[in-house]
Amino acid sequence: MPENTPHTRNVFDPGKEIFSWTAHDYHPHKRGWVWLVVFCFIFFGSAFWAMLVGDWVMALTLFIAVAVYFWAHRNGEEKHNVTVYENGIQVDKKYFSMEKFIGYWFVYDPSVSVVNLQMEENSKKIMLQMGKNTPDFFRTNFARVELEELPDKKEGLVDLWVRALKL
């Protein structure tokens, strides 16, 4: 059969594997009993206050928000396999062409280690935990696929608050 018929598929060749690592879905925060007490105090206090003033919609919204939060974090520290190829990046079974990326940048200090892969479309980014790897590990390996570091990028305010509040 000729290559251009509708029955054949163009399979994209990712090329040679450059490097890989295992990344958590989000930073695995260690939350102690103080965090749990403060969280419950804020949540139940806010819900109780909303019911006292007759704002049942706000109370219901708080309950739904907390339920969604705990549902989203129900599995704990999920791990993802990330592989960088010559022509793209694969996160678990999802593949991204290298052409979609404009660069990468870090949020790195003793409490967090994240590499952000910046995509062209609508400032979308992929945030990946670095694991035990250092920024120099990523700089060296991303240079092999000609993906450049974007040193002027900073952590967003929402991301900062999520990290500070251990959400």
How far is 166 from 31, CA to CA, in rounded Å?
7
Asked if the 17-26+78-164 domain carries CATH number 2.30.29.30, the reply is: yes
Contact indicator for 81, 92 with CB cutoff of 8 Å? yes
Half-sphere exposure of 37 (CA within 13 A, CB side): 3
Q: What is the pLDDT along the chain (167 residues), one digit of tens a residue?
A: 344 445 545 566 788 999 999 887 666 666 778 877 888 888 888 888 988 898 889 888 888 888 887 776 666 567 888 999 998 898 888 888 888 899 998 888 777 788 888 888 667 888 888 888 889 999 999 999 999 988 887 776 666 666 655 55
Domain ranges within the chain, ordered by starting residue: 17-26+78-164, 33-72
β-pairing verdict for 17-24 and 125-129: unpaired
